[in-house]
Chains A and B, each alone.
Chain A
Amino acid sequence: MRLPVALLLLLLSFRGAGEEPAALQGTVVNSVTGEPLDRVQVHLTVRASDEGLPPPGYGAITDDHGRFSISPIPPGTYLVHPERAGFYLALPRDKSATAPTLELKAGQQMRDYRLEMAPRAVISGRVIDENGEPVGNADVFADGPGRAVLYFLGIWKSSTDDRGEYRMSLPAGQYRIRTEVPDYSGDEIRTDGTAPMTYPPTWHPNAIDAARAATVELRPGSDIPGIDIQMRPLRLSIGGKVSGAPAGATPTVSIQCLRRGGSVWNDITPEPDGSFSLGRLEPGACHLFAHASSGGREMRSAVVELNLKDTPVSELDLALKPGTDISGALEMADKEEAANRAVRLEPLSRIMGRSYTGRTGRDGVFEIKGVAPGRYRVAVAPLPQGGYVKTVLLDGAAAALGVLDLRAGAGTAQLKIAAGKGAARVSGRVTDDAGRPAALTMAFLAPEGDEKLELEQNAQAASDGTYSFADLAPGKYRLFARGVTTSVSKEEALAQAETIELKEGDRITKDLKPIAKGAGDGRKQ
């Protein structure tokens, strides 16, 4: 696919007009041999964000001595992008940047600008199926540290030919090689004893789980054949029964499964006996629930969350429930203040769950009817400055972490909510090892004991690295920061998070460094 960038219309600024032009002379060398590289196309583009049309970029080609020259060139800040078949720009290892920047001042004569390019490594191999037959038309991806760099080089993906063979060039580094067979077909019914199969994404040599993938180490210029990937078909399905459907109601089972970075939603109608099945799924997380409407009232089952590995899941029971009728009371320091507040029950399962809202009367009393089975957190809005939800009592018992467990999904419940004053706040900066603001980083905060991060809050670090969480209930929390593009999972990061304790009215400053290495990465080093 051609880069859509041409249309992204990066709007670039141009400061050079009217200023004394600069001049640039430089050399491109082979980083391995130190020898000059000829026939390198050196591109300089302007990057900025002002309005207006982008000014032209500048380019040059290196001669037999690896030298290039651009003169005159308007002063400004340029992105430098050298191109030569079989080579890539060798950047310092820690960089997530795709190209170095070069600042040219008015009148500056830069003579010794040096760029190093390393020869690409080449890997090749075959993708075969369970019978050793070639798999044609499979995409082959190199999962490595610098995905952005690969994309920039336009080689993030290769594909097998009709003989199942592929051959791709890559910058040096450690990679896990993955293949995916494009498959857009849905489920189908078989009556001949066979079953619809899927070939899930598979890593070299034959892993359907990234954690079991082999790592391929590439040095500049190395040529490594035999990186074969064997795919095995999987028969993965989800099935079970819907129970509790009232006579005459037609239930629907909604199933949403993550699939290759996206998700696929299916609505299926169970057989008359309530049984349902959906096949041709891939490993990964799925959420499902049943719903039906009867007599103007919606019935739902709890949302089931499961993680498909390599075996089908059957005998799920999706019990339709009319929901819980809640009568509640909100207590605030000043009794008058409890009136006319919105009490919202927010589902912990953000996928497929729905939220419910009740409004308090003059005495703080509220009602919420027909709450679907599930677990919910309680929010009250608006709260006065510094207000927070202090305690949640469900039928007289304190709800752990303030979470309501309504999975039984029927009958009535009493809810008592007490709001406190003096919410805490934590803020700080996320910086890298050199103390610079870490770009594209999120800060995460979760109450201690929330091991699955169901109650997590997150905040994107601003361009100066600052983040903040406000309106927090006092208590112990786990706090960490994580790069948006990191391969470290949130769970891995949580294991390395620090614990902070917040008291009423606290305003705490806590600077963070992004958690860079997961447990898995650590072992490999």
Chain B
Amino acid sequence: MAGSNRRAVLLLLGMAAVAAAQAPAREEAKPSRVEGVVMNALTGEPLPQAHVTFDVPGNRKAKVFGAITTAEGKFAIGPIDPGNYRAKANRQGYVASGAPVDVKVAPGDAVRDIELKLAPHAVIAGRVVDGNGDPVESVQVEAVRGGARSEHRTNARGEFRLGGLPAGQYLVRALPGNGGRDQELRTDGSQDENYGVTYYPGARSEQEGAVVEARAGAETGGIEIRLARAPVVRLSGKVTNAPEGARDYYMERTDVRFASTGQFNGPKFALWRLPSGRSALYVSCEDLNGREWESALMEFDMGDANIDNFDLPVMLPFDVSGRVDWDGQAPSSGDPLAAGLRLQAFTNWGHSAEGRMAENGTFRISKTSPGRYRVELAGAPADAYVKSVRQGAVEMANRTVDLRYGPGEPISVKVSTQGAQIAGVVRNEKGPVAGMSVGLVGDDPLEFDLFRSVETGADGGYSLRGLAPGKYRVFIFDTEDYDALRKNRTLPFYATPGEAIEVREAEKITRDLRLPR
């Protein structure tokens, strides 16, 4: 997986780096302790035999503490190391309910009355049949919101049960295998039966799928998916610009759900029966000196027709150079370098490189892989934004740079401190909701190159700062869907984006959001 999902961060690091977090002073205090209870969110009863964990999010090296709840649903951990923990409970047949619970444990503290909630899971059950109505065994079936939330393979009767679901609305899709076959010819007038990803009840796309409502502690049954026939189409092309004697051709194909890899003899390739929808393809090969030549991750949208002549130029890693300038008035420490400016660039699918900024705002990034990158700021003043990105004389759309075909012209980035802001509070019928993900995309057509997201704080508030002037849409989504969103480049079906919000330079707009139902 790691290889297919190369994290894509191209960093231009200012020397004035963020100060390293200070190590906490060692104190000889009495041991810290945490206590609490796990409740059934539906009945309000305490829940015994639940597994409780306290871990430090984002720190895999930190110790994890755990406990099992008693017959009264109570748990206690002590001694526990001081730290900022996220508390979780789990038990088979239950799912987390409500906002995440963060617990700060100071040296010598006894934190009591921590309440963790679990709700009985929802179940979606049904079966999968083929075009003739015969049940199909061993087909992967998933309950989907943005990404998959629960999966199960059909049994020998074609039946599936998707358990472990939080109550909510889902699409249900089946992912039949394609038998590993390429093109197949028929001389007897019969049809090469090819089934594609199918959304309940029998749709070939997410948009046409029917929404299934799942309720806590209940089973939604009778969900019969009739696999949809899909035309047998191919993606074909060749690797271009390959060095003499190129060998060890390798490719990775990534779609929203899968990554698959393979070797091929090159330079030509043909891939059959790919899932429809958005995918990206990457190829590499080695030259006689053992150096790796690689292509960008090139996106394509597989429909009902062949895609031919999909050519992928490969190249050696290259250097990218350019400069960063302030637009208009610079902040007090005028030099971008001294301001601790960090330029971050990424693609929706992968690839990365790192470079350093010189004192006069010029930068050079060595060993960059081809790709289309989005240029962003980090470690800069909160209201700073990338005002424009030019490659040579060409103004690039959406502050991206196109390095798919090589380094091209030098890049110049203009940074302004006059970014706009959209802020507000996320509420449901009971009041503000913490820990919700709020996303922002460019408006009309939805422009995912501009996708940003933040989580609401304890007061339910969110704020998106450093926005370039323009039209946006904000929406609430499930944090788990972040990856699917980035790759899909469409809003998940359950997200209800409000009307477009237009911001002007340095404007501050308040927009509260309401969770549906």
Name the segment of A132-140, A467-475, A490-498 touching the other chain.
A132-140
Name the segment of A1-9, A103-111, A430-438 touching the other chain.
A1-9
- Which residues of chain A come closer than 8 Å to B192, judged between CB atoms? 59
By beta carbon, the residue of chain B nearest A134 is: B92
- Which residues of chain A come closer than 8 Å to B76, judged between CB atoms? 191-192
Q: Which of B216-256 contact A (CB under 8 A)?
A: 236, 251, 253
Name the segment of A182-190, A324-332, A347-355, A413-421 touching the other chain.
A182-190
- Which residues of chain B come closer than 8 Å to A508, judged between CB atoms? none
A122 is an interface residue with CB less than 8 A from chain B:
yes
Query: Contacts A162-B93, A191-B78 hold; do A70 and B188 have CB atoms under 8 A apart?
Result: yes
Question: How distant is the Cα of A308 from the Cα of B264 in the complex, in angstroms?
Answer: 42
By beta carbon, the residue of chain A nearest B249 is: A9
A390 is an interface residue with CB less than 8 A from chain B:
no
A411 is an interface residue with CB less than 8 A from chain B:
no
Query: Contacts A3-B179, A189-B65, A192-B68 hold; do A39 and B187 have CB atoms under 8 A apart?
Result: no
B5 is an interface residue with CB less than 8 A from chain A:
no
- Which residues of chain B come closer than 8 Å to A9, judged between CB atoms? 262-265, 269, 271
Interface size class of B (residues with CB under 8 A): 35 or more
Question: How distant is the Cα of A159 from the Cα of B327 in the complex, in angstroms?
Answer: 59
B342 is an interface residue with CB less than 8 A from chain A:
no
- Chain A nearest CB from B169 CB (Å) reads 19
- Chain A nearest CB from B299 CB (Å) reads 17
A51 is an interface residue with CB less than 8 A from chain B:
yes
A6-B273 in contact (CB<8A): yes
B272 is an interface residue with CB less than 8 A from chain A:
yes
A133-B92 in contact (CB<8A): yes
Question: How distant is the Cα of A31 from the Cα of B79 in the complex, in angstroms?
Answer: 67
B273-A162 in contact (CB<8A): no
- Which residues of chain B come closer than 8 Å to A2, judged between CB atoms? 140, 175-178, 258
- Which residues of chain B come closer than 8 Å to A8, judged between CB atoms? 180, 262-263
A56-B92 in contact (CB<8A): no
Contact mask for chain B residues 74-111; partner A; CB cutoff 8 A; 1 contact, 0 none: 01111110000000000011000000000000000000
Question: How distant is the Cα of A155 from the Cα of B154 in the complex, in angstroms?
Answer: 10
By beta carbon, the residue of chain B nearest A155 is: B138
- Which residues of chain B come closer than 8 Å to A122, judged between CB atoms? 156
- Which residues of chain B come closer than 8 Å to A61, judged between CB atoms? 188, 190-191
Q: Which of B259-310 contact A (CB under 8 A)?
A: 260-265, 268-274
- Which residues of chain A come closer than 8 Å to B190, judged between CB atoms? 59-61
By beta carbon, the residue of chain A nearest B52 is: A192
A162-B161 in contact (CB<8A): yes
B65-A188 in contact (CB<8A): yes
B185-A59 in contact (CB<8A): yes
- Which residues of chain B come closer than 8 Å to A71, judged between CB atoms? 187
B79-A191 in contact (CB<8A): yes
B183 is an interface residue with CB less than 8 A from chain A:
yes
Q: Which of A153-183 contact B (CB under 8 A)?
A: 154-155, 157-159, 161-163, 166-169
Name the segment of B129-137, B368-376, B391-399 touching the other chain.
B129-137
B362 is an interface residue with CB less than 8 A from chain A:
no
- Which residues of chain B come closer than 8 Å to A56, judged between CB atoms? 182-185
A58 is an interface residue with CB less than 8 A from chain B:
yes
A186-B64 in contact (CB<8A): yes
B156-A188 in contact (CB<8A): no
- Which residues of chain B come closer than 8 Å to A4, judged between CB atoms? 260-262
A196 is an interface residue with CB less than 8 A from chain B:
yes
- Which residues of chain B come closer than 8 Å to A43, judged between CB atoms? 179, 181, 184
A39-B64 in contact (CB<8A): no
B213 is an interface residue with CB less than 8 A from chain A:
no
A161-B163 in contact (CB<8A): yes
- Which residues of chain B come closer than 8 Å to A136, judged between CB atoms? 92-93, 163-164
A57-B67 in contact (CB<8A): no
Question: How distant is the Cα of A81 from the Cα of B153 in the complex, in angstroms?
Answer: 23
- Chain B nearest CB from A279 CB (Å) reads 10
By beta carbon, the residue of chain A nearest B253 is: A7
A162-B123 in contact (CB<8A): yes
- Chain B nearest CB from A257 CB (Å) reads 18
By beta carbon, the residue of chain B nearest A84 is: B134
Question: How distant is the Cα of A68 from the Cα of B53 in the complex, in angstroms?
Answer: 60
B260-A191 in contact (CB<8A): no
A367 is an interface residue with CB less than 8 A from chain B:
no
A85 is an interface residue with CB less than 8 A from chain B:
yes
A168-B156 in contact (CB<8A): yes
Of A53, A60, A85, A133, the residue contacting B268 (CB under 8 A) is A53
- Chain B nearest CB from A223 CB (Å) reads 9
B63 is an interface residue with CB less than 8 A from chain A:
yes
A194-B67 in contact (CB<8A): yes
Residues of chain A at interface, number, CB under 8 A: 63
Greatest chain B CB density within 10 A among A52, A57, A122, A155 is at: A57
A167-B156 in contact (CB<8A): yes
Question: How distant is the Cα of A136 from the Cα of B121 in the complex, in angstroms?
Answer: 12
A101 is an interface residue with CB less than 8 A from chain B:
no
A449 is an interface residue with CB less than 8 A from chain B:
no
Of B132, B181, B258, the residue contacting A45 (CB under 8 A) is B181
Query: Contacts A11-B265, A162-B93 hold; do A69 and B187 have CB atoms under 8 A apart?
Result: yes
A190-B66 in contact (CB<8A): yes
Q: Which of A51-83 contact B (CB under 8 A)?
A: 51-54, 56-61, 68-73, 81, 83
Question: How distant is the Cα of A61 from the Cα of B186 in the complex, in angstroms?
Answer: 9
Of A3, A7, A58, A192, the residue contacting B67 (CB under 8 A) is A192
B72 is an interface residue with CB less than 8 A from chain A:
no
Q: Which of B142-186 contact A (CB under 8 A)?
A: 152-153, 155-157, 159-161, 163-164, 175-186
Query: Contacts A136-B163, A169-B137 hold; do A59 and B251 have CB atoms under 8 A apart?
Result: no
B134-A54 in contact (CB<8A): no
- Which residues of chain B come closer than 8 Å to A185, judged between CB atoms? 64
- Which residues of chain A come closer than 8 Å to B64, judged between CB atoms? 185-189
B208 is an interface residue with CB less than 8 A from chain A:
no
- Chain B nearest CB from A111 CB (Å) reads 15
Question: How distant is the Cα of A73 from the Cα of B183 in the complex, in angstroms?
Answer: 14
Of B92, B134, B183, the residue contacting A85 (CB under 8 A) is B134
Question: How distant is the Cα of A51 from the Cα of B192 in the complex, in angstroms?
Answer: 26
Question: How distant is the Cα of A59 from the Cα of B79 in the complex, in angstroms?
Answer: 68
Question: How distant is the Cα of A348 from the Cα of B66 in the complex, in angstroms?
Answer: 39
A189-B187 in contact (CB<8A): no
B193 is an interface residue with CB less than 8 A from chain A:
yes
A41 is an interface residue with CB less than 8 A from chain B:
yes
- Which residues of chain A come closer than 8 Å to B75, judged between CB atoms? 192
Question: How distant is the Cα of A71 from the Cα of B187 in the complex, in angstroms?
Answer: 6
Of B77, B157, B178, the residue contacting A3 (CB under 8 A) is B178
- Which residues of chain B come closer than 8 Å to A161, judged between CB atoms? 152, 160-161, 163
- Which residues of chain B come closer than 8 Å to A6, judged between CB atoms? 178, 180-182, 260, 271-274
Greatest chain A CB density within 10 A among B78, B176, B177, B191 is at: B177
Of A3, A5, A7, the residue contacting B251 (CB under 8 A) is A7
A59-B184 in contact (CB<8A): yes
- Chain B nearest CB from A1 CB (Å) reads 7
Question: How distant is the Cα of A155 from the Cα of B478 in the complex, in angstroms?
Answer: 33
- Which residues of chain A come closer than 8 Å to B160, judged between CB atoms? 161
- Which residues of chain A come closer than 8 Å to B270, judged between CB atoms? 53-54
A154-B177 in contact (CB<8A): yes
Binding site for A on B (CB under 8 A): 53, 63-68, 75-80, 92-93, 121, 123, 130, 132, 134-138, 140, 152-153, 155-157, 159-161, 163-164, 175-188, 190-193, 236, 251, 253, 258, 260-265, 268-274
Can you list 16 A-B contacts (CB < 8 A)? A2-B258, A3-B178, A4-B260, A9-B265, A45-B182, A56-B183, A56-B184, A56-B185, A58-B184, A60-B186, A69-B187, A120-B156, A158-B153, A188-B53, A190-B77, A191-B67
With A1-B258, A4-B260, A41-B193 known, 18 other A-B pairs at CB within 8 A are A2-B178, A3-B177, A6-B271, A11-B264, A53-B269, A58-B186, A59-B184, A59-B190, A71-B187, A85-B130, A85-B134, A85-B137, A136-B163, A155-B137, A161-B161, A188-B65, A189-B64, A191-B78
- 8 tightest A-B CB contacts, nearest first: A162-B163, A5-B180, A161-B161, A167-B155, A7-B262, A188-B66, A61-B190, A56-B183
